[in-house]
């Protein structure tokens, strides 16, 4: 079956890379004498670790370079350190890391407050653009938000009433 909308000859460059031997990038595997010899290459010079870097237990050393921002800290850091006891093939590695990310999010808010910065959640969520490009969706979200808040308030009130009853 043929595409009726476009003629191949009208498409700029059609078939130009069709011959694999003509594509300089085609051979993905260039074998060389270092194959099958393990980690034997001439390693780049080593970056010094001035902060804590967690390292996969699937390699014997740290890599020659690495990123240093946001070293593990606080409770999320403790969870991350635990995660790195497990190999990359294990849920024991990845699930704690995801948990640590959620804990880290709360730590981030606390951190903001400590620095006297009240995070503008509306703006961080891109609220302005939602208002501009999706006003109906925005209104719906506000209504849902109000409904949830009202429900929570009502539930809390009932709890209070219950407590009153006990006294």
Partner 1 sequence: MLAMNYRGPYRVRADQKPMPEIQHPGDAIVRVTRSCICGSDLHLYHGLVPDTRVGTTFGHEFIGVVEEIGSDVENLKVGDNVLVPFNIACGKCIFCQQGLYGNCHESNPQATAVGGIFGYSHTAGGFDGGQAEYVRVPYADVGPMVIPDDMDHDDAVLLTDVVPTGYQAAEMGAIKPGDTVVVFGAGPVGLMAAKSAWLFGAGRVIVIDHIEYRLEFAKRFAQCEAYNFRSLEDVVLFIKKTTDYIGADVCIDAVGCEAAGNAMQTITGRKLMLQAGSATALHWAINSVKKGGVVSIVGVYGPTDNLVPIGNVVNKGITIRANQASVKRLLPRLIEHVRAGRLNPKEMITHRVPLEEVSDAYHIFSAKLDNCIKTILIPSSANK
- Residue numbers 47-66 binding partner 1 by CB under 8 A: 47-48, 50, 53-56, 58-59, 62-66
Return the residues of window 3-22 that contact partner 1 according to CB under 8 A. 3, 5-6, 8, 10-18, 20
* 20 vs 162 by CB, closer to partner 1: 20
Asked whether position 141 contacts partner 1 by CB under 8 A, the answer is no
Task: Count Cβ atoms within 10 A of the Cβ of residue 103 and give its class: 0-12 exposed, 13-18 middle, 19 or more buried.
Answer: middle
CB-neighbour burial class of residue 96 (10 A; exposed 0-12, middle 13-18, buried 19+): buried
In degrees rounded to 5, what are phi and psi of residue 87?
-75, 165
If one asks whether residue 45 binds partner 1 (CB under 8 A), the answer comes out as yes
139 binds partner 1, rule: CB under 8 A: no
Structure token digits, residue 164: 């009153």
Question: What whole-number distance in Å separates Cα of residue 14 and Cα of residue 6?
Answer: 12
Pick the piece of the chain touching partner 1 (CB under 8 A) from 45-53, 146-154, 156-164: 45-53
- Looking at the Cβ atoms of 59 and 163, the one nearer to partner 1 is 59
């Amino acid at each position: 079956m043929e595409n009726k909308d476009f003629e191949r000859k009208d498409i700029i460059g059609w078939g130009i890379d069709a011959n694999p031997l003509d594509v300089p990038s085609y051979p993905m595997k260039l074998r060389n004498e270092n194959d099958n010899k393990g980690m034997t290459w001439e390693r780049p010079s080593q970056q010094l670790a001035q902060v804590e870097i967690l390292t996969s237990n699937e390699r014997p050393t740290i890599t020659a370079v690495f990123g240093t921002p946001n070293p593990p800290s606080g409770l999320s850091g403790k969870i991350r350190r635990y995660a790195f006891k497990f190999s990359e093939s294990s849920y024991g590695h990845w699930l704690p890391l995801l948990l640590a990310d959620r804990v880290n999010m709360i730590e981030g808010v606390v951190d903001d407050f400590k620095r006297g910065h009240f995070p503008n959640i509306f703006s961080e969520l891109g609220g302005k653009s939602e208002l501009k490009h999706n006003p109906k969706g925005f209104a719906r979200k506000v209504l849902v938000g109000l409904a949830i808040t009202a429900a929570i308030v009502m539930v809390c009130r009932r709890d209070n009433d219950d407590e009153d009853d006990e006294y």
